[in-house]
Amino acid sequence: AQSVTQLDSHVSVSEGTPVLLRCNYSSSYSPSLFWYVQHPNKGLQLLLKYTSAATLVKGINGFEAEFKKSETSFHLTKPSAHMSDAAEYFCVVSAWTNAGKSTFGDGTTLTVKP
Amino acid sequence: GAVVSQHPSRVICKSGTSVKIECRSLDFQATTMFWYRQFPKQSLMLMATSNEGSKATYEQGVEKDKFLINHASLTLSTLTVTSAHPEDSSFYICSALPGNLAGGTDTQYFGPGTRLTVL
């Protein structure tokens, strides 16, 4: 079994300030972890993924995430928010040993204030 | 690379009609594709797993006779909503897994979604 908890349903930051979106997971498998971003009425875009290599993962658009096995966390960060970062963010856990099925968190809405 | 398309992007239909949605992997082969449904302000709900050359596997509570899935080739899966009703109105998103799952990637690439409105 696997599950994902995104600890904040909404996060609001000012432009130019750091972003932190929190995600905890559980999995019976050796999981892969992902962050996806979704803009309104659009599909999901892959930001970054962790697949048992380096625990600090760098993604697109300046985002990065750190896998902490002891804390079962995979938090997403960005040093400086941009207005275009305003969107819905999903933390996802998956395992090819689980027929490739993914389990999604409930999502975090990021608002960026000017 | 790893681009997935969906067609149509938006469809409006009358109650009782059937609607077909196509999901294509444009630059890779995918033995496995997934179909999701997303309600406003909510996360994605997995409806079914589509496997090339075999029957789809549906999640609990999803009516297989209402949501027909066909995975006819390594680059195409279709979802047909049969006898659509207003409660079927939703945003439908597909995803594709590159390659063969046996020892392969578990990174899903998502299509842009299809907005279905049933009047």
Instruction: Return averaged pLDDT per consecutive 10 residues of chain A, 114 residues in all.
Output: 92 98 89 91 88 86 94 96 96 76 91 96
CA closest to B111 among chain A residues: A43
Of the pLDDT bands very low, low, confident and very high (cuts 50, 70, 90), residue B103 is very low
* B108/A100 CB distance under 8 A: yes
Of the pLDDT bands very low, low, confident and very high (cuts 50, 70, 90), residue B28 is confident
User: Nearest CA to CA, how far is A20 from chain B (Å)?
Assistant: 19
Question: For residue B100, is pLDDT > 60?
Answer: no
For residue A105, the chain B residues in CB contact (below 8 A) are: 43
Tell me what pLDDT residue B24 has: 95
Average pLDDT over residues B109-113: 91
CB-nearest partner of A42 from B32, B103, B113: B113
Tell me what pLDDT residue B105 has: 65
For residue A95, the chain B residues in CB contact (below 8 A) are: 106
Calpha distance A19→A14 (Å, rounded) = 9
Interface test with A, best of B44, B58, B59, B114 (most A CBs within 10 A): B44
Length of chain A: 114
Task: Compare B23 and B105 and report the one with higher pLDDT.
Answer: B23
Report the share of chain B in percent with pLDDT over 90: 66
* B42/A106 CB distance under 8 A: yes
Tell me what pLDDT residue A96 has: 64
User: Nearest CA to CA, how far is B15 from chain A (Å)?
Assistant: 23
Burial class (CB in 10 A: 0-12, 13-18, 19+), B94: buried
Calpha distance A29→B108 (Å, rounded) = 17
* B44/A90 CB distance under 8 A: yes
- Residue of B19, B56, B18, B55 lying closest to B35 (CA atoms): B56
Question: For residue B4, is pLDDT > 60?
Answer: yes
**Are B43 and A104 contacting, i.e. CB atoms less than 8 angstroms apart?**
yes
Q: What angle do CA A81, A86, A88 make, to 5 degrees?
A: 125
What residues of A are in the B interface, CB distance below 8 Å? 32, 34, 36, 41-46, 49, 51, 90, 94-96, 99-102, 104-107
- Spacing of C-alpha B59 from chain mean position: 13
Question: Which residue shows structure tokens 């033995």?
Answer: B31
CA closest to B37 among chain A residues: A43
User: Rounded to 5, what percent of chain B is helix, strand, coil?
Assistant: 5, 50, 45
* A43/B97 CB distance under 8 A: no
Tell me what pLDDT residue A40 has: 84
For chains A and B, count residue pairs whose Cβ atoms are closer than 8 Å.
Answer: 61
